[in-house]
Every structure is written in C-alpha cells, then in structure tokens.
Amino acid sequence: MQSIKTLLVIVGISTSFFLDPVLAVPQDADIKRGGGPSSAKSPISSSDKSLLIVTPEYIIGPEDILEITVWKNADLSKQVQVRPDGRISLPLLGDISAVAKTPVQLTEEISVGLRAYMENPTISILVKEVNSYQIYVLGEVNKPGKFPLKSKTTLLQGITVAGGFTPMAARNKIVIFRFSKDGEGLTKLKASYDDIVVRDGSIQNMELKPGDQIVVPSETMVVLPSR
C-alpha cells in the first residue's frame, strides 16, 4: 500500500502536512433509502485516502502504521501497525496503548518509559499510513459495512451512507461502541432516531469518531421490560 502524507513529531517539535478535508461517503455507487435518514450518492475512490487530514492534533487509531525512531539507537527503532486492540509493541517497553492519542502524546509516553534505560532519549514518530479513519455500521441497515470517515460526520450521516434503516430496524435502540479516551477499552453510547428527529434530541446526533461501531439492532432483538 502506498503511504499517504505523513506527520513527523519530535519531542518539543511538530511538523505537519495539511490536506483537504472531505466528508464521509460510501465506497460504491448509489445508496437507497431504507426508512431512515435520506439517501445520497457520493462515490469515492481509493485515491481519496490521500485527502485525509494529518495535523499535530491527529488522533492515532487502529491499523495506522507508525514509524518510531529512537535517535542513535537502531535496535529500539521500529515500524509498527496499531493492532485492533489499540496497542503497539516496542522493545524494552512491551505493549503500549497508542489509540486515541496524538503522536505528540505517544512520543512523550515512550520517552518517559525509555528514561529508565537511557538518559534523555530523543523520539520521533512518523505516521506512515492513515488506515483508521473508518466507521463501521452494522445490523439493520441496507448496506452494512466499513466506510471512510472524513471531516465531521454525525450519527445520522453515518446511517445515511449505510443506506438507511431496514423495515426491521429498532431505530430507537441504536448503540455506538467507541474507544475510550485512554484507549484501554470501549465505551457504549445509545441514541434514538425519534429523539433526534422528533423530540429535539440533537445531542444524541453525535459527531462520529474514527473506529466507531454503530449497531442498529432488529426489533426482534429488543426485549421489552416486564411490567
């Protein structure tokens, strides 16, 4: 895979390449309405990955490829891919949580860890490939799958690019699984389509984050509470 624009972060210094922001869209042709948000037609090619934004505030996500260099120490320098569990493995330090952190934050954490083995380590992190800007829409939508996430995208927009709800969708029982801020696990968020659209529950129409897993259960899966 050809690497896209990169970000070099050194302790105390950050240099970035700014790229054009775009919107989250599906990777194939038309999207049919399925009883939920209105549909759209927004084809995307694989070359659009080069349009992703890489800035000092970039948040590392699963499947991103990082080149970590320890100055004057080739044995500790390594190119790694962030695993699905959000961690990377480094010599001496073992497993480190990388997801949900900026390259600057990860650089500082690695530097602190290596101070037990060397004096004043100088660390640089190069984001070689951005692979984590994806969302996953699962369950009762017409086109479940993985979609590129670009620029600000709301929950309703995410459901729209997945083709909208199916007739069996429990649209008021939407669940979003998201990596926690410390990258150590998943948080569970809930949303109701009727609350967002009918009852002005706009706060539930949250901005999606890279790696978010949106699950729309079926009505048959929803268990009614006993009276």
Token representation of residue 59: 């948040």
Decide which of 211 and 24 is more confident. 211
Residue 145 domain flag: yes
Q: Quote the pLDDT of residue 54.
A: 60
CA distances from 199 to 2, 23, 123, 192 (A): 46, 27, 50, 10
Query: What's the whole-model pTM score?
Result: 0.57
Residue 109 domain flag: no
pLDDT band for 133, please (50, 70, 90 cuts). Answer: confident
Q: Where are the beta strands (DSSP E) in the chain?
A: 8-10, 13-15, 65-70, 78-81, 87-90, 94-97, 123-129, 134-139, 145-148, 174-179, 186-191, 213-216
Q: Quote the pLDDT of residue 21.
A: 32
DSSP code of residue 169: B
Tens of pLDDT, residue by residue over 146-169, are 998 877 889 999 999 999 999 999
Lowest average pLDDT, out of 33-37, 130-134, 149-153, 216-220, goes to 33-37
Residue 117 domain flag: no
- For the chain, the residue count is 227
Q: Which domain holds residue 176?
A: 132-221
Indicate which CATH number applies to the domain containing 198.
Answer: 3.10.560.10
Q: Quote the pLDDT of residue 3.
A: 41
Q: Quote the pLDDT of residue 225.
A: 53
Q: Quote the pLDDT of residue 85.
A: 85
Residue 82 domain flag: no
Residue 202 domain flag: yes
Tens of pLDDT, residue by residue over 6-50, are 444 443 333 332 333 333 333 333 333 344 554 443 433 444 444
* Res 136 pLDDT > 50: yes
pLDDT band for 184, please (50, 70, 90 cuts). Answer: low
Count of domains for the chain: 1
| Arithmetic mean of pLDDT over the chain | 78
Tens of pLDDT, residue by residue over 42-60, are 433 444 444 455 677 788 9
Mean pLDDT of 169-196: 88
Residue 199 domain flag: yes
Q: Quote the pLDDT of residue 182.
A: 64
Mean pLDDT of 56-73: 89
**What is the share, in percent, of the chain residues with pLDDT greater than 90?**
51
Residue 78 domain flag: no
Mean pLDDT of 56-75: 90
Residue 34 domain flag: no
